[in-house]
Structure 1
Amino acid sequence: MDPRTVWGTTLARRLLAAVAAVLLLVVPASTAAAAPPPGLVWWATIDGNRVDYATPSAPIKLGASDQARIEVYLDNRGTGPIDVRSVRIDGRVIGMAFFSYTTRLDIALPAGEQTSRRFDIDITDLTRQATGQLPATVSLVGPDRKTVDDRDFTVDVAGSMFSVYGAFGLIVAGITAVVLAGLLVAIWRRQLPRNRWQRGVRFLPAGIGVGLVLTFTLSATRLLTPSATLWLPVLLICAGAAFMIGYLLPVGKDEPPPPQPDPEATVLQAPSRPLV
């Protein structure tokens, strides 16, 4: 078997293992959180809007004011007490937190009791951290700093394209443009590997970059909320399409022709005579 083919197959297997590891790491933390206490019923509002009802088609708008009013209602219908140390609101995209606000409440709720808390959070810096539609989570945090329970919702931040979120998307777009330019130059100069696996792997970073740029662009323009159930398929589809383009592209390095003997350099040698 051609050593280059063996090397390409081995590299592809390692790449698939790396992709699987990344997918395990970017699974939302809520899926790994412990089950909520039995009998806990609760809801939260932001500026009078229930987070339960905040969907991509009806997000909670933030950024028009420098503060947001939060109200949390808890009902302990279980048989044991429930302790809530604080409430945390954060927004995460592709596993990274772009904004986070935590307020300490120190709630000790006995069985059969209800309580509510109302407080304001300062979000003056929110418009400098994010923009567009983002997935967010409101979490009840226990005394051990572990999540007691959480609710996912969608926010629409009236921020700037030069916020941290927007700048990150612009940086990814710039890197992707450089990678694509390098691929075009390699195609024009016929410098791509002849091995199909190696060629497909060469195209993978461009596909991942296009997937990320598409995710951030659709989020900033409020056409898509990049939850894990949406941005992961977009990323995988773009990466897979780029790999297949590289794999099927009929271009590669031109191998030099084998050296031809020079007839003028050929010297006719007389047969040697046997020694007497």
Structure 2
Amino acid sequence: MGLPTGSGDTRVRRLLVVSVAMALMVLLAPPAVADPPGLVWSVSIDDRDLGSVSRNDPLLLGTSDSARVRLSLDNRGPSELLVRSIRIEGRVIGMAFFSYTTRLDIVLPPGERTERRFDVDISDLSSQATGLLPTSVIMISPERETLAKRDFAVDVQGSVVSVYGTFGLIMAGITAVVLAGLLLAIWRRELPANRWRRAARFLPAGLGIGLVVTFTLSATRLLVPSAVWWLPLLLLFGGGAFVIGYLLPVGSGDPPGSPNADTSELGAADRVVR
């Protein structure tokens, strides 16, 4: 089976290779943020140390209008530590669905320790998200760069019509429309005869299903959608749809010699006729 030589097909293949490579880089890359040398720190929210929080036992948020935070810092390094603020942020597929920043202006000389206690107003959290979300506590320097970071899982007691829930519903609606259009094209035999173009037509549907599955598992509290999970889900469903589109023996009645015709298939048909 020959490979298509059209510039459109080349761009599709390049895009797929780049997407897979980027996904693998994100999955296999080491953590981008390391604690400053000599810094020992801990955070507790609502009297629960984040070191005890796990995916199977997430931190519960959204049942009250505020979160009590205790930050402990021990500077055992050689340099002065400057902390401008601390941020609590929940991100899924690279998008922040909630973020709360508190100004602290901590100056901690070497060999010193300090502790700060403060309340964070999260009264709008239930309208921002719902379900299990990967969350981070981020210490920010005066230059607004990340000094240190702790990742943990939260269980947000929010509404289905929150920003997060609405986004998932919108993705479900878009995916349904894409699938309906794809099924209609199959029924009408309007798909390209060229296998690579046909596979590219299936790819958005697979990616959409992957996103819907991710948000559904998160909202129903079955999965914390960190990159370790949502990237493989997108690759699984997107790649599966691409392979199905490539192997599915359906296509339009493109005339011989048209740009969309699969030259290998036309060649095989010509040999049969002869």
CA apart distance, 1:24: 8.6
Partner in structure 1 of residue 6 of structure 2: 6
Partner in structure 2 of residue 83 of structure 1: 82
Amino acid at match of 1:208: L
Deviations 1:90-136 (A, max 9, x none): 00000000000011111111111111000001101000000000000
Partner in structure 2 of residue 122 of structure 1: 121
Q: How does 1:64-83 map to 2 (within 5 A)?
A: 64-83=63-82
Deviations 1:164-202 (A, max 9, x none): 000000000000000000010000011111111111000
1:197 and 1:124 map into 2 onto residues whose CA distance is 50
User: Are the aligned partners of 2:193 and 2:254 in contact in 1 as well (CA < 8 Å)?
Assistant: no
Partner in structure 2 of residue 194 of structure 1: 193
Amino acid at match of 1:232: L
User: Are the aligned partners of 2:134 and 2:225 in contact in 1 as well (CA < 8 Å)?
Assistant: yes
Query: What TM-score do the two structures reach when normalised by structure 2?
Result: 0.87
User: Are the aligned partners of 1:126 and 1:159 in contact in 2 as well (CA < 8 Å)?
Assistant: yes
CA apart distance, 1:27: 7.7
Q: How does 1:39-58 map to 2 (within 5 A)?
A: 39-58=38-57
User: Are the aligned partners of 2:27 and 2:228 in contact in 1 as well (CA < 8 Å)?
Assistant: no
1:155 and 1:28 map into 2 onto residues whose CA distance is 24
Deviations 1:4-29 (A, max 9, x none): 65345413323225525864997899
Partner in structure 2 of residue 32 of structure 1: 32
Q: How many residues align?
A: 257
Change (3 A) 1:29 1:52: farther
Amino acid at match of 1:236: L
Partner in structure 2 of residue 61 of structure 1: 60
Gaps of at least 5 residues in structure 2 are 257-274
1:125 and 1:132 map into 2 onto residues whose CA distance is 15
Gaps of at least 5 residues in structure 1 are 258-276
SS at match of 1:204: helix
2:88 and 2:29 map into 1 onto residues whose CA distance is 14
Q: Percent identity?
A: 62
2:38 and 2:67 map into 1 onto residues whose CA distance is 29
SS at match of 2:87: strand
Amino acid at match of 1:166: G
SS at match of 2:138: strand
Partner in structure 2 of residue 15 of structure 1: 15
Partner in structure 2 of residue 203 of structure 1: 202
1:30 and 1:243 map into 2 onto residues whose CA distance is 29
Deviations 1:21-69 (A, max 9, x none): 8649978999433x32211000000001111221110000001101110
User: Are the aligned partners of 1:62 and 1:157 in contact in 2 as well (CA < 8 Å)?
Assistant: yes
Question: How big is the alpha-carbon RMSD for the aligned residues of Structure 1 and Structure 2?
Answer: 2.5
Partner in structure 1 of residue 249 of structure 2: 250
Partner in structure 2 of residue 112 of structure 1: 111
User: Are the aligned partners of 2:206 and 2:239 in contact in 1 as well (CA < 8 Å)?
Assistant: yes
Deviations 1:129-153 (A, max 9, x none): 0000000000111111111101000
